[in-house]
Amino acid sequence: MAYLDHAATTPMLPQALDAYVRTARALGNASSLHGSGRTARRTVEEARERIGEALGAKPGEVIFTGSGTEADNLAVKGVHWSRRAEGRNLVVTTAIEHHAIADAVAWLGDHEKADVTELPVDKLGRVDTAVLADLLESRGAEVTVLTCMWANNEVGTLQPVAEIAALAQAHGIPVHTDAIQAVGHVPVDFAASGAAALALSGHKLGGPTGTGALLLRRDVKAVPLLHGGGQEREIRSGTLDVPGIAALAEAVAHAVRTQEVESQRLALLRDSLVEGIRALVPDSIYNGDPDSRLPGNAHFSFPGCEGDALLMLLDAAGVECATGSACSAGIAQPSHVLLAMGADADDARSSLRFTLGWSTTKADVDALLAAIPEAVRRAKTAGLSLRLIT
């Protein structure tokens, strides 16, 4: 199979897998005081130091979680709850967030009576900072937290996180950024960004599934989602997954260390993919910012096709990709990201996301380009037949 769905999950790096297996052979709860426990704790703290060094954070700002989704929920809900006591109740988000953020914010609105405002984006999927500036001037005193992703998981557009954080800081507002797609693929410096919180996920950059982290400044309070043993600054209770944490640190360190060279390699492969699809399918629409985007992301709409049908035709031809974010797979709804960018519902349903990663080769791209013309032809024929019937 030609695997072009790295944004959904990426194969584990050999280094990360080795770190996991090596650590899993050892016994020890990192909260225990005996020798085995202290050894496990040392592994965790060394991992914390490695991740902090790689991402411009202090070791004490690294909080380990069970996933990127948990990290996002902990940041948005936890910071909102901690600042609600100050008489604030407004959560500011964007129209293109991953469901880990969008659904968490919606839950706060539905169940916690939070006031929610979504920032619009332009046709490239970029947040309108002028709208944000106006909002903060008029309602900044009401805001508990502002959350904006670093890189969009569907169309790959990068957001001006540092600019957004600077605008928010002028009003004393903490900014959380979902950097799950960004870490290891573009330069990410937590301290330099000005963000108060940042989420990352292991399986998006060559680490194991079920691992993640929240970078949270020491001066930012967050009410915990879980209560128990008081681990991780009493913000995230639960026995620490020492092998997963060791593998996560190895993956982050490797991805960041090789990011510049690997991003250049992936960008060349992506550009070849984009040029090929445009030549083979002239009416295709390339979505997202053509310049300021993730190096391994290519997102297209194919007018006249249903994305699900096109995906299955490519799958049958040996090419794996996605219709959107993996968490919304199987739901027959147009992409909320494309709708926010101004696409109509039909084009939003006709989209496919091709994402490249460390294991991607030219052969994978060639396999897609060999399969795409026939898949599009058949998908359009099927779509036309369905429209004639209905």
What crossing angle do the helices spanning 242-257 and 14-24 adopt, rounded to 10°?
Answer: 160
Beta carbons of 187 and 259 less than 8 angstroms apart: yes
Beta bridge partners of 200: 213
Task: Name the CA radius of gyration of the chain, rounded.
Answer: 21
Q: Is the Cα torsion angle 177, 181, 184, 186 positive or negative in sign?
A: negative
3-class secondary structure per residue, 279-324: HHCCCCEEECCCCCECCCEEEEECCCCCHHHHHHHHHHCCEECECC
Out of 148, 305, 321, 327, which one is annotated catalytic? 327
303 — phi, psi (to 5°)?
A: -55, 140
Active site residue 327: yes
Nearest to 337 by CA among 162, 155, 171: 155
92, two tokens: 């500011």
DSSP 119: E
Distance in angstroms (rounded) separating the CA atoms of residues 268 and 58: 34
Nearest to 244 by CA among 389, 30, 2, 5: 30
Distance in angstroms (rounded) separating the CA atoms of residues 287 and 294: 12
Contacts of 316 (CB under 8 A, 6+ apart): none
Residues with catalytic annotation? 327
